[in-house]
Amino acid sequence: MPSTLSLLAIVMACALVIANGCGHHLLTDYRPLVNAGMSSTSIEQLKKLDTSDSEILRLVSAKQAGITDYTCVNLVSNAHQHQHPFTSADAVTSLAGAGFGEPQILQIARLDKLDTISGDAVTLRLIGLSDSMVQTVLQRRLQDQPTLSTPEIARLKNTGLTENEILQRIDRGMDDNQAEKEVRARETARNHYGTGFVSIRGRRR
């Protein structure tokens, strides 16, 4: 029979393995991904990443939205590099549905900003901005550069400003308070346009 010291050594070795995260999700069920059409090569990569059951379910959701195997694997890899599981399937599917390409989705994932920026990015599309405008504003957000909020951009656009005019204001450092003042001024001017009193005199006899 093994001695008490031997048993203690075995217990400590097992604890060390668990602490290092080795084999933490050995019983993960990958069959849902097989059913979703993921290749065996990609599944093997996910096994090496120690993917959990909850992450598998989120990846199935991404696959059903048309996300490729390559992007799915990298989404999990990027999340783990930031020391947390992949939980952003809703953000990924929203971005994809709004027309964002997978390279851009992965760029956002690498910066660990899927959940914080996806809603804003989708809204930029919905308010009718051009692809180049959306890209410019999004890049500023990803680089933590000062940028007008999406609601203020939409309001400035609704007052008749062009995208170039809005970008000029962003480049000059306009903040939301300044944008709000300009919006009100432009709305007031528009509401009063053509309402000036004009005296109409009858023709003399």
pLDDT at residue 63, as a whole number:
97
Predicted confidence band at 191 (pLDDT cuts at 50, 70, 90)?
Answer: confident
The whole-angstrom separation of Cα 106 and Cα 71 is 7
- Which amino acid appears at position 5 of this protein? L
Check pLDDT > 80 for residue 1: no
- Token representation of residue 143: 């680089």
The whole-angstrom separation of Cα 181 and Cα 171 is 17
Specify whether the CB–CB gap between 176 and 152 falls below 8 A: yes
Place of tokens 């939205």: 65
pLDDT at residue 16, as a whole number:
45
Specify whether the CB–CB gap between 114 and 91 falls below 8 A: yes
Q: What angle separates helix 53-64 from helix 89-97, to the nearest 10 degrees?
A: 10
The whole-angstrom separation of Cα 86 and Cα 94 is 16
pLDDT at residue 190, as a whole number:
84
Work out the mean pLDDT of the chain and round it to a whole number.
87
The whole-angstrom separation of Cα 183 and Cα 160 is 10
The whole-angstrom separation of Cα 58 and Cα 148 is 32
In the DSSP assignment, the letter for residue 111 is T
pLDDT tens sequence across 76-101: 999 999 999 999 999 999 999 999 99
Predicted confidence band at 17 (pLDDT cuts at 50, 70, 90)?
Answer: very low
